[in-house]
Amino acid sequence: MDIAEVAKRAGVPASTLRFYEEKGLIASVGRQGLRRRFNPAVLDQLAVIALGRAAGFSLDEIGSMFSVGGQPRIDRQMLAAKAEEIEGTIKRLKLMRNSLRHAAVCPAPSHSECPTFQRLLRAAASGALARPRKKRGLEKDGS
């Protein structure tokens, strides 16, 4: 398949495919004129990449999920760790949602008199509501 067909079928721009190839996430099998050609299996690789991105994995982490031949080789421990991270995010967001909903309908004369809103402010000030930072340095791809 040429790059235009892969881009259309995968729903990503050709520039993304070129970037993924540059990062070593996918590989073209040659060229037809100036256009890159890909094996149809690249669509499965792109699906794994899309799932990984949706789950919050960095491109480097996603890259480690493929063997040299491009076949998925996903570390189950890494999946479990990401699931725990997502669970923490869900708990934090539920707390935020519930506190904001309460503050929106709180019968207290002002938010400064609402104990629930005050707890939310203290949690925010302490950093308890902040998104956890990655253990490694920032990555260039925004992850």
All structural domains of the chain with their residue ranges: 3-63, 83-126
For residue 120 the two structure tokens come to 């939310």
What single DSSP character describes residue 142? -
Amino acid 133: pLDDT: 65
Ramachandran region of residue 29, left (φ > 0), alpha (ψ -120 to 50) or beta?
alpha
Amino acid 142: pLDDT: 44
Q: What DSSP element (H or E) covers 94?
A: helix 76-105
Task: Determine the Cα–Cα distance for residues 43 and 60; give it in Å rounded to an integer.
Answer: 19
pTM value surpassing 0.85:
no
Cβ count within 10 A of residue 136: 10
Amino acid 119: pLDDT: 84
CATH class of 3-63: mainly alpha
Amino acid 45: pLDDT: 94
